[in-house]
Amino acid sequence: TGILIREIMSNVPAVRPLVILIKYFLSQRDLNETYRGGMGSHCCLMTVISMLQHCRRNLLQRLSNREIAGQVEDYEDLGSLLLEYFDLYGHRFNYAKVCIRLTEGGSYNSKPSKFLEKGRPGLLCVENPEDADLDIGKGSFAIARVRKAFSHSHRVLMSKIARYESMVNAYRKDGRVPDSILAAIVTSK
């Protein structure tokens, strides 16, 4: 896993800041420890990488007819990627049926029967890149709470973004600086 991760992190600069922010976000909600059922650091890293693999592939397809296709990172801003992550894992990802695979460019596959847990169909499934027989996500038994936090934060951020332009104009008239959009979901300690 180490070689694959180092290669991806050197080629995709957005991985590190997204993982740090999501880990901090989870920590503030006590959802960052696997032994409590939350999403651990390794699983967080794997889900970020998977999301970025799919975002890049989709972006490259849209840009394929342009000369700029080789400069994908210019079209990846961290705010949009964070929203995409929260939307994907908070709303669209099918935890009951899908397994994340990072190898060979990344893919979403049907969850193999070996990873199905009786009585717990909605667990996150992330195939270990070094050993396809290991599921990195199975320890996240409270993934429903994690998903709910992602979903809620996506809605809060989208609402804040929708109101942001009018807020900025109002603040300019008063000579004040508007609050950070991100402050709506994370606080400094």
Q: What is the tens place of the pLDDT at every residue in 163-186? A: 877 777 777 777 776 677 888 788
Query: CB neighbours (10 Å) of residue 60?
Result: 13
Q: Would you state the pLDDT for residue 20?
A: 94
Note the residue count of the chain.
Answer: 189
**Mean pLDDT, all residues of the chain:** 83
86 burial via Cβ count (<10 Å: 0-12, 13-18, 19+): buried
pLDDT at 24: 95
Q: Residue 103 has what pLDDT?
A: 86
Read off the pLDDT of residues 103-131 as tens digits, 9 standing for 90 and up: 888 889 998 887 877 667 788 999 988 88
Which two three-digit tokens encode residue 55?
A: 């975002």
State the Cα–Cα distance between residues 186 and 149, nearest whole angstrom: 12
Cα separations in angstroms, 56 against 8, 50, 107, 168: 12, 10, 12, 32
What pLDDT was estimated at residue 129? 87
Residue 76 pLDDT class (50, 70, 90 cuts)? low
Determine which of 22-26, 85-89, 127-131, 178-182 has the lowest per-residue pLDDT on average.
178-182
> CA–CA separation, 46 vs 42, rounded Å?
6
Q: Whole-prediction pTM value?
A: 0.84
Span 13-20, average pLDDT: 91
Considering only CA atoms, which of 38, 57, 107, 51 is closest in space to residue 80?
51
Q: Which of 17-31, 71-85, 126-140 has the least mean pLDDT?
A: 71-85
- Band (189; pLDDT cuts 50, 70, 90): low
pLDDT-derived band at 62 (thresholds 50, 70, 90) equals low
